[in-house]
Amino acid sequence: MKLEFYKYQGTGNDFILIDNRDLSFDKNDYNTISKMCHRKFGIGADGLILLEKSDKADFKMRYFNADGKKGSMCGNGGRCIVHFANFLKIIKDSCVFDAPDGLHKAIINGNIISLQMSDVEDVELSNSNIFLNTGSPHHITFTDNVSNLDVYNKGRKIRYGAPYFEEGTNVNFVEQLGENTFKMRTYERGVENETLSCGTGATAVAIAVNKLNKTTDNHINLETLGGNLEVFFNKKDKKYTNVFLKGKVEQVFKGEYLI
């Protein structure tokens, strides 16, 4: 059987996008999903995303990690599926879609997608580390030289270590470059490696640096290996609302996968 797919990337975070409005794709076939995402034996991607119909929004996003397992919210993936829905003429210049962590609003300006993320209130501080959930769990550690860091080994150790263990967490390493500019690298669970960018991670870092008073700005610039992202938000007391993740996405190619 031939399966039509589209390949997308958002600041180097790459995904396989499939129009599954007819529900023909088997969401429980984790082996096929992981093989499709494999960079040697398949298409190659950080994750696979299905676009489906929704009775409470413009469409539904179903996200799977590169290991084939169902994933939590993916910020860059969310931005990519919004562009995909626009390409399919399901939506025009804005939308609301149903994601693993609830409903999300998005605004489209060409290949620049601004995605509203979940509100955040709970931020856990421990020594020089910070933990919060922005649709996906994120551990954040600050460093003076993120470019030379062994992200794979350090990230993997934290991802599986206490207090996260098997359920795990995404791990972000962050260096401050300017008043409201930060460079970050991320080890992603489910991919089990460093990715070129992470949208929920960028969102978590932006909130964390404000929470720790590393900046008083509510518009944060994030430099990732795959490109630049922006996060802006409102803050009232301890709660972060109207949180938006903004950046470029690109439809890279279209193909047919043989199942």
pLDDT exceeds 90 at position 161: no
Q: Residue 200's closest CA among 61, 70, 73, 69?
A: 73
**Which of 37, 80, 95, 198 is flagged as catalytic?**
198
Per the annotation, the verdict on 80 as an active-site residue is no
Pairing state of beta strands 239-248 and 112-116?
A: antiparallel
Per the prediction, the chain carries an average pLDDT of 96
Orientation of helix 199-211 relative to helix 75-87, angle to 10°: 130
Looking at residue 125, what is its pLDDT? 87
pLDDT exceeds 90 at position 73: yes
Cα–Cα distance between 22 and 203 in angstroms, integer? 33
**Which of 37, 74, 80, 95 is flagged as catalytic?**
74
pLDDT digits (tens, 9 = 90+) for 194-219: 999 999 999 999 999 999 999 999 99
Model confidence, pTM: 0.96
Looking at residue 9, what is its pLDDT? 98
pLDDT exceeds 90 at position 146: yes
DSSP string, the chain: -EEEEEEEEETTEEEEEEE-TT--S-TT-HHHHHHHH-TTTSS--SEEEEEE--SSSSEEEEEEETTSSB----HHHHHHHHHHHHHTTS-SSEEEEEETTEEEEEEEETTEEEEEPPPB--EEEETTEEEEESSSEEEEEE-S-GGG--HHHHHHHHHHSTTTTTT--EEEEEEE-SSSEEEEEEEETTTTEEES--HHHHHHHHHHHHHTTS---SEEEEEETTEEEEEEEEEETTEEEEEEEEEE-EEEEEEEEE-
Looking at residue 2, what is its pLDDT? 93
Per the annotation, the verdict on 198 as an active-site residue is yes
pLDDT digits (tens, 9 = 90+) for 110-144: 999 999 999 999 999 877 789 999 999 999 999 99
pLDDT exceeds 90 at position 162: no
The domains located in the chain, with CATH, are 2-117+249-258 (3.10.310.10), 123-244 (3.10.310.10)
pLDDT exceeds 90 at position 165: no
